[in-house]
Amino acid sequence: MEVDTLESVVVNVESIQIDETGKKEEISFTTKGSLYQKKFSYYLRYEEELGTDQAVTTTLKIKDDVLTLIRDGAVRMKQDFVAGETGSFSYQTPYGKLEFNLTVEQVYIETAAKQGRIELKYTLKDRDKLVSQNQLLITYKEGLNV
């Protein structure tokens, strides 16, 4: 793999989920990550802790107005986010595989070698049943201090 540059970045993730009953859950964390460019895409990679010993590597492939979210570890998934599109994806957990439908309402990407901002708004369904409405804000900037 030929990588143009590899930058250490500080990644801030803010997530808001509203379930089918209207219950709102907000999660935010800051972690170390890496950013590199390969051909015409940026890749932002960082680690997430899902529980006491369940780590997940999250990779965001950023190309034009398309964001691909790849998670590998305790859970596994790969999903493209394109504004206005509906699709489906599999979410593999230690307890089995789940199938979801996704409707992407908004994708905003502002990316550069030293900093960037990604905003997503999407609806998650299990068949036709609403699971959650989601907002995700990910920012990154060059630096080593978390």
Per residue of the chain (146 residues), give pLDDT as tens.
Answer: 455 567 899 999 999 999 999 999 999 999 999 999 888 899 999 998 766 567 899 999 999 889 999 999 888 999 999 999 999 999 888 888 989 999 999 999 998 778 999 999 999 999 889 999 999 999 999 976 55
| Alpha carbon distance 60, 29 (integer Å) | 16
Place of tokens 């960037």: 116
Query: Which of 111-138 are b and which e, b meaning 16 or more Cβ less than 10 Å from the residue's Cβ?
Result: beeebbebbbbbbbbeeeeebbbbbbbb
Per the CB < 8 A criterion, the answer to whether 119 and 136 are in contact is yes
6-137: which CATH architecture?
Beta Barrel (2.40)
Per the CB < 8 A criterion, the answer to whether 78 and 89 are in contact is yes
pTM value? Answer: 0.87
